[in-house]
Amino acid sequence: MTKSFQDPTVINELKTKIHELSAKIGDRKIRICHVCGTHEYTISHWGIRSLLPKNIEVIAGPGCPVCVCPNEDIEQSIWLAKNGYVLATFGDMSRVPSNQGSLLTARAGGADIRVVYSFLDAIKFANSNPQKRVVFFSIGFETTAPTVAIELLNQRIPTNLFILCANRLVPPAMEILLEQPEIPLDGFIAPGHVSAITGYGIYESISDQHHVPIVVAGFEPADVMFGVLAILQQLAQSRSKTENLYSRVVTREGNRKALAAMSEAYSVVDARWRGIGIIPKSGYDLAEQFSKFNIRLKEELPMSSGEDIPKGCKCAEVMLGKIYPEDCGLFNKKCTPENPIGPCMVGNEGTCSIHAKYGGYLDLEED
């Protein structure tokens, strides 16, 4: 199955169809946005941009959960780690710079930071160390939020484990991107992983209201090419509907069990996205019934000590699809995956990091 989605013959056929349709539509600029680090990986790694007509741009929005985590949340996690808590979080998160350094630099200074692969690891650690007070720094989109929700509902959280909740929701960010007058978008490739949880029905009001085609796509190169083709087909027919091209994983209703757990365990709140600002109803906090696990209610956490984005870093523009990483003066010079200055250069899903490793514009045809 995977092989056919990577088959050069299939991809070449899609390329031909995309070029033919693009020529029929005309030479106008067509901007297609995606909001997923894994899609950006596929696009960069497989050199998809080099296969598209020059007038078709595929730009990356805020699809990296580590990148959008605000400076304030990172500073608060560092404060907790320096004030008697063991801070458990994902590996990428520990490297993200804030105005107070990163969690890793805090660890070098003696703070107890544990890298975990899931919330379940944090539970295990807290159970094995009842004398320690542990905080799980919970980040991620709709894909990671259900694990915490299900453990809360099943009452499997030990009393020495608390949660610093910084989870974000993707659809409100898509709407913010669509409301940017300076970057008009002609279509969206919606994230496959997130959609597996939310269902594709969640995008229908967005495509209707903003008159923009939204296609849910998987992560193989042919998936993305199919996505581009489907958007062009809709544009050619003056349609703007939500379409599911990832039916091998995504349904209209999504994962009902996960959605039910999330709606019980969390409250939807206005939330800050790094470099973008506050997006209404775009984040999760723990629901009132779980307030005893909410570290924000237990401790008076410090406010942010400064700006969200480091001086000279253009992550805000990168995450809003206004520029490519290569347009930042620090890209691959002062800022590299080994020495990241901004959040987009840190994790596997950061646009700058992906472009630094694979080249956002790698031209396969010249290879």
- Residue 68 binding ligand SF4, by CB under 6 A: no
Instruction: Kindly report the length of the chain.
Output: 367
Site string for ligand SF4, 259-298 (x = CB under 6 A): ----------------------------------------
Residue 245 touching ligand SF4 (CB under 6 A): no
Measured from each CB, the residue nearest to ligand SF4 is: 342
Cβ-based nearer residue to ligand SF4, 34 or 314: 314
- Per the CB < 8 A criterion, the answer to whether 345 and 353 are in contact is yes
Quick one: which segment of 3-11, 96-104, 208-216, 341-349 binds ligand SF4 (CB under 6 A)?
A: 341-349
Where do the H-state alpha helices sit in the chain?
A: 8-25, 37-45, 71-82, 91-95, 103-108, 119-128, 145-153, 170-178, 192-198, 204-210, 221-236, 256-265, 295-298, 315-319, 351-358
Contacts of residue 21, defined as CB under 8 A and 6 or more positions apart, other chains included, come to: 229, 232, 233, 236
What is the chain's alpha carbon radius of gyration, rounded to the nearest angstrom? 21
Q: How far is the CB of 206 from ligand SF4 (least distance, A)?
A: 27
| Strands 85-89, 56-60: pairing kind | unpaired
Stretch that binds ligand SF4, among 72-80, 129-137, 173-181, 342-350 (CB under 6 A): 342-350
Q: Which is nearer to ligand SF4, 100 or 138 (CB)?
A: 100
| Element at 135 (helix H, strand E) | strand 133-140
Of 195 and 351, which has the nearer Cβ to ligand SF4? 351
Q: Is 342 in the site for ligand SF4 (CB under 6 A)?
A: yes
Please report how close the Cβ of residue 50 comes to ligand SF4 at its closest, in angstroms.
21
What separation in angstroms does the CA of 363 have from each of 20, 46, 52, 182, 228?
20, 9, 11, 28, 18
Tell the smallest beta-carbon distance from residue 106 to ligand SF4 (Å): 20
- Residue 341 engages ligand SF4 in binding (rule: CB under 6 A): yes
Q: Cα 321–327–331 angle (5° rounding)?
A: 110
Interface residue list for ligand SF4 (CB under 6 A)? 313-315, 318, 325, 328, 330-331, 335, 341-342, 344-345, 352
